[in-house]
Chain A
Amino acid sequence: MASLEFEIPELFKNIQTPAINPGVMEGSGPFVAKPDHQEPLGFPGELVENWERKAVDAMGEAVDNSRALRVFLDSCVKCGACTDKCHYYLGSSDPKNMPVARQDLFRSVYRKYHTPAGKFLSKLGLEWLIGGQEMNKSVLDDWYNYYHQCSECRRCSVYCPYGIDTAEITMAARDIMAKIGVGQKYSNEIIGKVYKIGNNLGLPEPALRNTLEGLEEDIEDETGVVVRLPLDEKGADILLVTPSADFFAEPHVDGLIGYAKVFHEAGVSWTISSKASEAANFGLFIGNNENMRKIALRIREAAIDLGVKRIIFGECGHAWRVAYSYLNTLAGPFDFLDPAYPVPQHICEFTHDLIQGGKLNLDPSENDWMTLTFHDSCNVARASRMGDIPGGQFSIPRDIIKSVCNNFVDMAPETIHEATFCCGGGGGLLTDDLIEVRVKGAMPRMTALRNVIEEDGVTHMAAICAICKSQFSKVLPVYGMGMDMIVSVHQLVSSALILTGQDTESVPESD
């Protein structure tokens, strides 16, 4: 268990754009997937023969299949608007982490092989005139290293005058690498577990059942009310699809208890599925459509098997992007669900509706010992929406927090809503072998958080993404803040929610 043998960024009052330090983040990237991690996903076990040609061909297929990708590659004018927008550049100072430079690792190869000028000039050996670059081992090494220093958060895209989506380029590069046998161990091992066991953790059905029963006991001990966390119950109205971290980690599990209490108070029947016991879809992170589809189809199958009428997603950032933006294309049509409800629905939308309707008995003073701020998770903020008004993905979680907490303060405007900074661990980077990238990439968020701690007395930060929660638990202490500062939104709901029949008698303090 290596200690942190690298320089931890200093936090200043403002997020500073560092002077460049070329090569400071050079390295061999995260652990490479072994054949056991590659093959179940349909990828070759190791680097294939003639991989240079195969990578170039795969790139050709990628730009032929995605007009968007080709436009992103063709339209950059090197204006530089993105250079200081990436948390990994801000935290690391490596110029290859400027989004334009990271994209150019891919774009230069594209120019040589897949543009008319590049093809012509290559015959004369003059592709360098247009910044063309041949595919070789050093390019592959740079790809593997730097395309795993992008969390696909799309903050740079917000500031790009052409709207170039860097994440799409990262995804394409990762997909090409996996297809020639160089996948990432972390993501691919996890996808294998989803296929084999049903979730990222590898939590088998008996263990899941035991965990849920334990939570039922805990809620009853605490409140005196029997609140169920049903598993595989056919005929339930609602299928809850939530990240498996909600069954395992802190503070995730407190959020899960919150969902259960909310469902209980709403009087709806619901169930978790052992087959789709995972909301996450790492197929998005590795940029591979076939795997993304296969993972998404489990949810459809579980919904049909259980005969549910609605699907609700728990607190998971990229899962909500895949659900909100792609689920119907990947695994639809969902015409067997009740059309009276959104397909799919976010747990925050569900809870928000109940709060708006006055259906929950809330006592926000239960959270008076805390002052909250909210971290917008990138995939929710920039790739999805909630509710039926623009910006609902920003207002709904905040409305919920304000309904259950009396003390709420937002962080600086340039670090929230669509300008939010990634936690530093998104997009398949939440692995110990990338701890340096994660710690450095957290610098902007840590700066904004520390400012509200010092100026507004903030004590806790809430989030609605399993990755954000785990990443913050890990990096907060590195920056001198407490790991338990990070909380789940539904954990706050859970603390304030008074269940029907709940024993609320507290022992009066003696004078």
Chain B
Amino acid sequence: MPLDVNGTTYETDEEGYLANLSDWAPDVATALAGSDGAELEDGHWEVINFLREYYEEYQIAPAVRVLTKAIGKRLGKDKGNSKYLYELFPYGPAKQACKYAGLPKPTGCV
């Protein structure tokens, strides 16, 4: 199912994850979220930006614990927990946040 953003069409997989990581841009993230009926606010962008930085370095999304720790350091301890992340991304921070960040979906027993 292709994703249309300002006249450009992007290829996605069956679940709406971007087929080509290099297609990602902030307005693509907004459109990916929009197709799920979600709106991205500052809190979401903090997570999305961290995921992209981590992926750039390690070629994989960070573990949930790595993510909560990093968000806690950046936004304060009260936000460094899975509860906060699930409030932002109710379908699961690993899967939903990766989708908007343009990263592949984590696979395996997760």
A interface vs B, CB < 8 Å? 1, 31, 185-186, 189-190, 193, 199-204, 206-207, 210-211, 214-215, 218, 243-245, 247-250, 253, 278, 280, 316, 430, 432-433, 466-467, 469-470, 474, 484
Contact = CB atoms under 8 A, between A and B. Distances in A.
Contact of A214 (B59, B66, B92): B66
A247 B107 contact: no
Nearest to A483: B86
Contacts of A244: 108-109
A46 B19 CA distance: 20
Contacts, number: 91
B78 interface: no
Interface stretch (B21-29, B44-52, B94-102): B94-102
Nearest to B63: A248
B109 A430 contact: yes
Nearest to B70: A214
A248 B110 contact: yes
B106 interface: yes
Interface of B: 14-16, 36, 57-60, 62-66, 69, 82, 91-92, 94-96, 99, 104, 106-110
Given A200-B109, A245-B109, A433-B15, A1 B63 contact: no
Nearest to A199: B108
A211 B107 contact: no
A247 B63 contact: yes
Contact of A200 (B62, B91, B99, B108): B108
In the A-B complex, list the 4 residue pairs whose CB atoms are closest, starting with the nearest.
A200-B108, A207-B58, A466-B109, A245-B109
A256 to B, nearest CB: 10
A1 to B, nearest CB: 4
17 contacts: A1-B95, A31-B14, A185-B14, A200-B107, A201-B107, A203-B60, A204-B58, A206-B57, A210-B66, A243-B109, A248-B106, A248-B108, A248-B110, A250-B64, A253-B65, A467-B109, A470-B110
A247 to B, nearest CB: 6
Given A211-B66, A214-B69, A253-B65, A245 B108 contact: yes
A189 B69 CA distance: 30
Contacts of A278: 108
A377 to B, nearest CB: 12
A253 B109 CA distance: 12
